[in-house]
Amino acid sequence: MGNNLLKGKKGIIFGALNDMSIAWKVAERCVEEGATITLSNTPLAIRMGTTEELATKLNAKLIPADATSVEDLECVFDESMEALGGKIDFLLHSIGMSPNVRKKRTYDDLDYNLLNQTLDISAISFHKILQVAYKKNAINDWGSVLALSYGAAQRTMYGYNDMADAKAMLESIARSFGYIYGRAHNVRINTISQSPTVTTAGSGIKGFDSLVDFSERMSPLGNATAAECADYCVVMFSDLTKKVTMQNLFHDGGYSSMGMSYRAMEQYIKSFEGLKDEAGNIILG
């Protein structure tokens, strides 16, 4: 049941691939809260995934676009404004992909052409979306823009690879464009730094299941789910957060403020079982 938090608002949601996608849950929640939306994803993702099903369910126009193409993005804004009957009020960038991770290139053996693609898809696409929107004056005053980030932007995480650099850049773009768009049109731009979440993109990360378990044990409130992330996005798109901008907002059950928790320590101690001598000292090997 919605609370009409987005009643009458119009938005564009990028990145719903299937029903595990964070963007899928956000799209559903936005419509539940009274918004009308358009959806966008790459032609390949639309073929491989189930975005069309979501578009039908939510009565949303689905606009194919590669978010690295300025030309494609111009079409997304033109067609969205036509379908929705005017400028938009909110936008979600839920796009991420590392060809280096896909090809199992480690961080000390990156392919630089692939690194450029990682940055273009996962970070620069956010700048392109904002620049196209700005030049077309496509977002209403007091509109709200969000992109999804991850804590590896601040702290090194084993296996997150060049996506960490992309997320750091994504968060920086939110600040840099947040100043310009805020100054000109009172549009706010933020990133939400989400807990590890089981999705198609998430599962590509090395050791992902262990990462999910570790952050669950470390977070006093447990990992935030995709549905909970959708709730947070709705609040950030609503008029209840009009003066929040240029922030990276942690939505991670408290993980980012923790150093060690009892539940993680307990598991860590267990890992030494069988590795102790008779006096109880750890045998270092």
Q: Which residues bind ligand NAD (CB under 6 A)?
A: 15, 17, 21-23, 41-42, 45, 66-68, 94-97, 121, 148-150, 194, 196-197, 199-202
CB of 249 to ligand NAD, least distance (A): 12
CA distance 114 to 122: 12
Nearest to ligand NAD of 129, 264 (CB atom): 129
From the number of C-beta atoms within 10 Å of its C-beta (0-12, 13-18, 19+), residue 270 rates as exposed
Per-residue tokens: 119:
């940055």
* DSSP per-residue string spanning 237-263: HSGGGTT--S-EEEESTTGGG-S--HH
CA distance 140 to 10: 10
CB of 179 to ligand NAD, least distance (A): 22
CB of 268 to ligand NAD, least distance (A): 22
CB of 74 to ligand NAD, least distance (A): 14
CB of 170 to ligand NAD, least distance (A): 8
CB 20 within 8 A of CB 200: yes
Nearest to ligand NAD of 31, 192 (CB atom): 192
For CA atoms 128, 19, 153, 113, give the dihedral sign: negative
Nearest-CB residue to ligand NAD? Answer: 202
Cα 150 to chain centroid, rounded:
8
Nearest to ligand NAD of 154, 186 (CB atom): 154
CB 204 within 8 A of CB 101: yes
Nearest to ligand NAD of 172, 186 (CB atom): 172
Nearest to ligand NAD of 143, 202 (CB atom): 202
